[in-house]
Amino acid sequence: MLTAAKTLYHRAFPKLVRPVLSTLKTLRDTSFKAVAVERLPTNTTTRGHAVHRWFNFIAGFSPELVNACVEMTGRVPHREMRLLDPFSGCGTAPVAARLMGISATAYDPHPFFAVISEAKANSAYYWSDLPGIQAAIERGIGDQPTEHSPLSDSAIAFLSKLVEPKALSALNSARVELENDGLSKNPLAILILSRILDHCCSAATDGIYKAPTSSKKPLSPEAALDRVMSILLSDQVDATNTGTDIQIYARSSESMAELADSSIDIVVTSPPYLNNFDFAEMTRMYLYFWQMASSWSDISNKVRSRLIVNTTTALKGHKPLQQHYRDSLPISVRQAADEAVMTLIARRKEKAGKKEYDFLVYPYLSQMKKVLAETYRTLKTGAPFHMMVSDAALYGVHIPAPQWLAEIMIEIGFQNVQCEMIRPRGHRWILDKRAGSDEGLGEYYIFGVA
Ligand SMILES: C[S@@+](CC[C@H](N)C(=O)[O-])C[C@H]1O[C@@H](n2cnc3c(N)ncnc32)[C@H](O)[C@@H]1O
């Protein structure tokens, strides 16, 4: 099956990205021990890096990528140099920036990810709270945990599938003790107790999504606290390293009003992919535990509605705006997107699940255009932009999001835009979902200069 989007979309990007990739390859050796280029957009090296390893997830990229991109500027890192990541996630880019000695700004409207980024990227600021955090958690898990729980019914129902009642009750008491000590909003406390929650969870992890049906051996809350504290303390030197200015904003990067025009020296980023990956759903355990949301609809209203539209669970309010989103796109992208959307509408009618993938395409591209335009505004003239993003297959329709985004970047004014696959992914999808296309799905590297 040859998909419509593929036939309409003809632009061949210059293959100049090869030299960029080989520069990355050379530079990575000077920053960290060698890793294959294919691992740069993945989180598979993270567990070997101080601070980064405190909290990480499957959608993260490697610290090596950030280091290599900074080294590629050829400049000696210093405090006045500023990196921007408009999609912070677990904070790999701002943490790497700080450890290299450059300042950073990052955005993420997901309340849990913003807190995790803040805890890691500004760990020096919270370090002196560590003894108090440890004492409050010890008290909570050591006391006879109370049966009383302030969590909502749906939160208890969900969390009880993941953590056995005694441990859940102990962790809940630890949260209440943090609250009593005025530490329940402290980012480092949230990171630490969230990691303990992970270790006490009897469900296996797929990324950071806890699937109640899969199982692993949980740790006791006491053993989990020991493990988490021992990792943090062994990273003390990097955790307390200061001298840079790191700003994490829990807001959408569609508007980055905090940043002046031409104030950013480099962007290293990776946005949500247009692949129906639900960042709110995958963090449900933490959102419920920290009372950032208390039900499915609460998650939609407080979390999903703030994120770039990339999943059919986030369509509330976006369906009536399709025309508006479509009109904001460059003509070449609009034509290709139209054809993909029409094919998706037809596929939806044939499929039992009736997933509304056809409503995702225009809002995703339009919101990404806003972020890219804001990013361009903030970059200094000639400053480099590096982005990792994947294409997707929805109901068998190929969505060449990286090429569309690169096209949008050209319209915005980026120069020397290059876009090339850096890593194949999702092989199991190729046969049925990419039949007729010449390449499998992949993670793409997009480069541009402001
Ligand atoms: C691919 S992940 C980034 C991972 C990150 N590079 C790391 O290493 O941890 C994309 C992130 O974009 C965030 N995001 C979604 N919509 C956003 C928006 N409008 N503004 C900023 N961030 C957003 C998601 O919450 C998610 O954490």
Burial 229-259 (b: 16+ CB within 10 A, else e): beebeebeebbeeeebebbbbbebbbebeeb
- Rounded to the nearest angstrom, the distance between the alpha carbon of 276 and the centre of ligand 1 is 14
Q: Is the pLDDT of residue 206 over 90?
A: no
Residue to probe by mutation, ligand 1, list 53, 57, 64, 88, most atoms within 8 Å of CB = 88
Give exposure, 139-165, as e/b (b: 16+ Cβ within 10 Å).
Answer: bbbeeebeeebebeebbeebbeebbee
Task: Work out the pLDDT band at 13, boundaries 50, 70, 90.
Answer: low
Residue nearest to atom 15 of ligand 1 (CA): 307
* pLDDT at residue 431 in the model: 39
Give 67-112 pLDDT, tens digit per residue: 989 988 889 999 999 999 999 999 999 999 999 999 999 999 999 9
- Per-residue model confidence (pLDDT) at position 438: 47
Which protein residue's CA is at the shortest distance from atom 20 of ligand 1? 252
Ligand 1 atom closest to the Cα of residue 279 is 25
How many structural domains comprise the chain? 1
pLDDT at 341 over 70: yes
Distance (angstroms) between ligand 1 centre and the Cα of 42 equals 14
Residue 176 forms part of a structural domain = no
pLDDT value of position 28: 53
Span of 19-23, 124-128, 217-221 with lowest mean pLDDT: 19-23
Quick one: average pLDDT of 309-337?
A: 95
Full domain range(s) for residue 101: 4-124+241-449
Cα 301 to ligand 1 centroid, rounded to whole Å: 18
Residue 80 in any domain: the answer is yes
Nearest CA to ligand 1 atom 7: 60
**CA of 273, closest atom in ligand 1:** 1
* The pLDDT value given to residue 35: 76
Which residues are paired to 442 by β-bridges? 424
Give the pocket of ligand 1 (CB within 6 Å): 59-61, 86-87, 89-90, 92, 107-110, 113, 252-254, 270-272, 279, 307-308
Work out which ligand 1 atom sits closest to the CA atom of 88. 5
Q: From atom 16 of ligand 1, which residue's Cα is the shortest distance away?
A: 307
Asked, for residue 187, whether it belongs to a domain, the answer is no
> Looking at the domain assignment, is residue 353 inside a domain?
yes
CA of residue 272 to ligand 1 center, whole Å = 6
6 compared with 318, residue with greater pLDDT: 318
Q: Distance from the CA of 333 to the center of ligand 1, in angstroms?
A: 23
How many A from CA of 87 to the centre of ligand 1? Answer: 4
Average pLDDT along the chain: 88
Return the ligand 1 atom nearest residue 306 CA: 19
Residue with CA at minimum distance from ligand 1 atom 3:
89
Mean pLDDT of 107-123: 98
pLDDT at 298 over 50: yes
> Does a structural domain hold residue 192?
no
Is 345 within a domain? yes
Classify residue 194: in a domain, yes or no: no
Q: How many CA atoms lie within 13 A of 235 on its CB side?
A: 24
Determine the distance separating the centroid of ligand 1 and the alpha carbon of 34, expressed in angstroms. Answer: 26
CATH number, domain of 345, equals: 3.40.50.150
Q: How far is the CA of 177 from the centre of ligand 1 (A)?
A: 31
Q: 3-17, 125-139, 157-171, 314-328: which range is least confident on average?
A: 3-17
Q: Is residue 120 part of a domain?
A: yes
Count of other CB atoms within 10 angstroms of residue 218: 18
Beta-carbon contacts of 333 under 8 Å, excluding residues fewer than 6 positions away, are 365, 404, 407, 408
Q: What is the mean pLDDT of residues 243-261?
A: 98
Q: Ligand 1: which residue has its CA nearest to atom 6?
A: 60
Q: By the 8 A CB rule, do 234 and 54 touch?
A: no
